[in-house]
Amino acid sequence: MRISLDSAKTVFLFPGVGAQQPDMFAEFNTYPEYRACLEEVSELSQVDLFDVIHGNRRDTLKQVRVAQLALTATTVAIAGILRRHCGLVPEFMMGHSLGQYPALCAAGYLDLATLTKLVNFRSEVVAACARHYQQGDMCWVLHIPAEVVVQEVNKARLDEGIAIYVSATDAFDQVTLSGEMADIRRFAPRMETLGGLLFPLKIGGPFHSPLMAEAKEKLDMLLDFLPSSNQQHRLFSRVVCNVSGVELATEDLKTSILQHLISPVQWLPGLQYVAQNGVTRYLEISPKNVLGYLTERSALPMRPLWTSDEMFTAVQALNCKESRLEQFVRYCCFHLYSTKLPAITAPAVIEQLSRIRLEARQTIKNANINMEECHSLCQSTQQWLELIEASSNRSADTEKTKLQALFDAVRS
């Protein structure tokens, strides 16, 4: 099992509905943060998630809304534990379908109360819309290049009026379709002729497609509680959006949430985006290795920190002051000595940067760095980030928030 960590960039992956299972993450019940997270979501949703996940109501995990709440509460809780107890704060977070919402919370775009309200409203409008389709559902198309499937779907819709849509691009040769099952069956021979395999998912609705337009309209009228674009967001990480496959700007939050209902999940493009931005490690916060499997199939140069069944043991091993200190110092050194500097010509700024580096080197030359020295290193790194920020005209808010989170973990 991989427990030793390096300074490589990391992405956390959050799963969608289907990953849930009874007693998932049971070992984490020993952490107060885990219990508090489940309690808050339970109270706000009027669903006893402890009983649902770990008690006598496990059968209700088959219900979509309950599964969404369970996955939301547990995965947000574990991301918080990883940050506070292990000093793990990834550069990026991604979620597949529902998973994008706990990713938004764990990254700092939304607080838990707002997230819970959003998941409840979204579940309600989506379920109501899905009931309009007697046999609306989704299926995988496997073993055919994704771009070929997209072309054939568009062609079938235009030429034959078959109302099916691509609802996810998961891998180079794995695409998800949405529509009425009768239309999916009419389309199936096209894929089979090309050597494809269709696998029904039995999700219960044609999600992530234009067939969810009514749900989008209803949800639009319910989102007045979202933080406005001029409110301060304390971001720990950057979320890669399912809709665009690139980083989500905070001012685009509401638009993204609405488009998410009617647009395909751009999972493979999202993975490609984080890889292009230097990510070489991923961690799936899930009871199953679903997204890890898709990541392996992406053929990108990324490998897991550990697997789902290794997670608790790894967290226990990293839940110590030495580990948190190591992550903090590495993050400071990464910015002070490894990141590419913008073109700086002002002599005063160059002198300040040189002085900060010298002071930091003096602070960390001793392996047994104490709390006072940690505080000094934190201040030096923050000053460094502010100088780089001013010189490059690029916000370093997320980097500064991550720095503070790692320092808080050292102090805990």
Q: Could you report the per-residue pLDDT of 9-67, keeping only the tens digit for each?
A: 899 999 999 899 999 999 999 999 999 999 999 999 999 999 999 998 888 898 999 99
Q: Among the listed ranges 61-65, 216-220, 225-229, 381-385, which one has the minimum average pLDDT value?
A: 225-229
Kindly give the residue spans of alpha helices, DSSP state H, lying in 277-346. 290-297, 311-318, 321-333
Q: What is the mean pLDDT of residues 275-294?
A: 95
CB atoms within 10 A of CB 159: 8
For 374, half-sphere exposure in the C-beta direction (CA atoms, 13 angstrom radius) is 25
Residue 3, pLDDT score: 41
d(Cα 79, Cα 412) in Å, to the nearest integer?
Answer: 16
Residue 366 has pLDDT above 80, yes or no: no
Residue 344, pLDDT score: 83
d(Cα 70, Cα 262) in Å, to the nearest integer?
Answer: 24
d(Cα 362, Cα 377) in Å, to the nearest integer?
Answer: 10
Residue 2, pLDDT score: 41
Q: Any idea of the CA torsion for 42, 94, 278, 319, to the nearest 10 degrees? A: 20
- Which residue is listed with tokens 């369970």? 70
Reported as a pLDDT band with limits 50, 70 and 90, residue 7 is low
Whether domain 134-205 has CATH 3.40.50.300: no
Residue 5 has pLDDT above 70, yes or no: no
Q: Give kind and range of the element (H or E) at residue 80.
A: helix 64-86
Residue 1, pLDDT score: 37
- Percent with pLDDT over 90 in the chain: 78
Q: What is the mean pLDDT of residues 4-8?
A: 57
d(Cα 382, Cα 136) in Å, to the nearest integer?
Answer: 52
Q: What is the 3-state secondary structure (H, E, C) of 127-184?
A: HHHHCCCCCEEEEEEECCCHHHHHHHHHHHHHHHCCCEEEEEEEECCEEEEEEEHHHH
Residue 56, pLDDT score: 86
Bigger pLDDT: 398 or 12? Answer: 12
Tokens of 92: 């990026």
CATH superfamily to which 9-129+212-318 belongs: Malonyl-Coenzyme A Acyl Carrier Protein, domain 2 (3.40.366.10)
Q: What is the per-residue pLDDT across 104-162, written as a single tens digit (0 to 9) for each?
A: 999 999 999 999 999 999 999 999 999 999 888 999 999 999 999 999 999 999 999 99
Q: What is the per-residue pLDDT across 303-341, written as a single tens digit (0 to 9) for each?
A: 999 999 999 999 999 999 888 998 899 899 989 988 788
Bigger pLDDT: 7 or 89? Answer: 89
Q: What is the per-residue pLDDT across 175-204, written as a single tens digit (0 to 9) for each?
A: 999 999 999 999 999 999 999 999 999 888
Radius of gyration of the chain from its Cα atoms, rounded to whole angstroms: 23
Q: What is the mean pLDDT of residues 344-361?
A: 90
Which residue type is seen at 213?
Answer: A
Most confidently modeled range among 180-189, 354-363, 386-395 = 180-189
- Which residue is listed with tokens 């493009």? 269
For 233, half-sphere exposure in the C-beta direction (CA atoms, 13 angstrom radius) is 27
Q: Classify 274 as helix, strand or coil.
A: helix
Tokens of 258: 């609405």
User: β-strands 164-171, 174-180: how paired?
Assistant: antiparallel
Residue 4, pLDDT score: 44
Map out the domains of the chain as residue ranges.
9-129+212-318, 134-205, 321-411
Confirm if 266 and 243 have CB atoms less than 8 A apart.
yes
Average pLDDT over the chain reads 92
Residue 233 has pLDDT above 90, yes or no: no
Residue 393, pLDDT score: 80
